[in-house]
Chain A
């Protein structure tokens, strides 16, 4: 018994070492954010710096707040709209599968395979012609296109788990479609909606390509703003770390808190 217990502790130790190694870049980033600039990029590294909050002050004095608000608007707005479109569509595809399910699903998922970059020129020029550049509303609308396939795909799997008997019973009772969806189905799949919403939110919050190209200042979001901390002519590592730390906090916190939803959201496709 002792050898197996010893082996157990050994595996636990190895697990922890590996996990901490994986977490290290994040930990180091946060640590660096609290260093004065002169102790950020040194060799050997500074492990006992003079802790300071100055870098965070710098980050906000460079006006990070509007960028965070833009990120939040685009992420939240697109997530809500995606759910509003995806839940009914997924409902049609799973609970009332009368249309061609496979082709429709295939179409959705294939739009996600197409590199966004492939048709970026028309998107850019079309937006420019309608005055839609540097505009949060248009960015939000484009994020719908990016996240809709994933949401439809996830919601279909969640809805497929709803016991068919429940719906049939409701239909036999002559329940209207609205009742069917809101009273019977939605409560069951609410955790699923939360999971899909969380994942759409994460993707939108982290999106860089479109935000970088299509926004300049008024609608610029956090990810492209971060790159502006890379200084052409001086030291910048701790202020960059501070800005990055602020930028990842909302999503990391949400992900940590809603871990269970995250797992469900990601794993569901495999179950059904």
Chain B
């Protein structure tokens, strides 16, 4: 608090010597802080305090199924976590599932954005239908995909494969991770598409026309002009989708229950806490997860995304 407020200049701002900067007035500063404070405090209370308690629990030897045997465990729980190997394999699953779903939905989103940016018969209706998967409740999506689409004997996926002569696939047994990625890609493609479509529409037509006059083909124009222009839209879509997908829980809990390399960190944490009922061990998993995500988030946000680099916040 003191460091921030006792330097009442704009030195620590994102835009140091911006000409538009108003002279700092004490009243303005106080008002700004008063406006920010409630949100900041709420966020701290709701997210940081439970985490501090998690750290405390992680040092306890505490199994809910054995009430009465609770004592201080030091770093034992961390030793158990590191010895077991579940943590690393879960981290791998999370990265694999998040990474491939984000990649696939961004690529498909780009394809659909380009297709739906053209004007054609029923463009509005097509866009409306296309955004629907993102609006569908993830629990409902997971249930419908599991029981209606990917069910091995009566599901529509195997029926469709059968029409073209491909033998049925035992989705849940043989490729559980694919089922999760399928559902997530299905839900997040419209999300990526919406953002990229906005990017395409924000493109000034003059540049494209100029390129056409210069005799550049559609493909070259797209690669040389449109794609670079879309970069920041892709960034934001990847950022937001990653934030949401890193926590993915619903389809894992509903479709695979963590089998076959689908045990994401969220599911692992849930399982240790509420199936294993090992409070201490589960808390240690939680602390490890948070440490890793903080490191990853910091590196990713500060280096990959322009929005958080120095020039990104200027207006």
Q: Does chain A bind chain B? A: yes
Measured CB to CB, the residues of A under 8 A from B are: 8, 11-12, 14-16, 18-20, 22-26, 28-29, 32, 41-45, 85-86, 88-89, 91-94, 96-102, 104-123, 126, 141-142, 144-145, 148-149, 152, 160, 164, 168, 177, 202, 205-206, 208-209, 212-213, 222-224, 226-227, 229-230, 236-237, 240-241, 244, 247-248, 251-252, 254-256, 259, 262-264, 266-267, 269-272
Which residue on chain A has the smallest CB distance to residue B58?
A121
**Is residue B12 contacting chain A, with contact meaning CB distance below 8 A?**
yes
Total of A-B residue pairs, C-beta within 8 Å: 328
**Interface-side segment among B74-82, B151-159, B169-177, B208-216:** B151-159
B247 touches A115 (CB 8 A): yes
What's the interface size class on B, roughly?
A: 35 or more
Residue among B4, B121, B293, B315 making CB contact with A100, cutoff 8 Å: B4
A113 touches B243 (CB 8 A): yes
Closest CB in chain B relative to A89 CB, distance in Å? 4
Residue among B36, B149, B247 making CB contact with A104, cutoff 8 Å: B36
B126 touches A16 (CB 8 A): yes
Closest CB in chain A relative to B280 CB, distance in Å? 10
- Contacts of B280-308 to chain A: CB distance below 8 A: 282-283, 285-287, 289-290, 293-294, 296-298, 301, 307-308
A43–B12 CA distance with the chains assembled, in angstroms:
66
Known: A15-B116, A208-B250. A98 touches B10 (CB 8 A): yes
A266 touches B116 (CB 8 A): no
Q: Chain A residues near B269: list those with CB within 8 A.
A: 115, 117-118, 120
Which residue on chain A has the smallest CB distance to residue B293?
A113
A164–B19 CA distance with the chains assembled, in angstroms:
12
A259–B132 CA distance with the chains assembled, in angstroms:
10
Q: Chain B residues near A177: list those with CB within 8 A.
A: 31
A227–B209 CA distance with the chains assembled, in angstroms:
53
B38 touches A266 (CB 8 A): no
Bits for B240-278, please: 1 = Cβ < 8 Å to A, else 0.
100100110110011000000000011101100110000
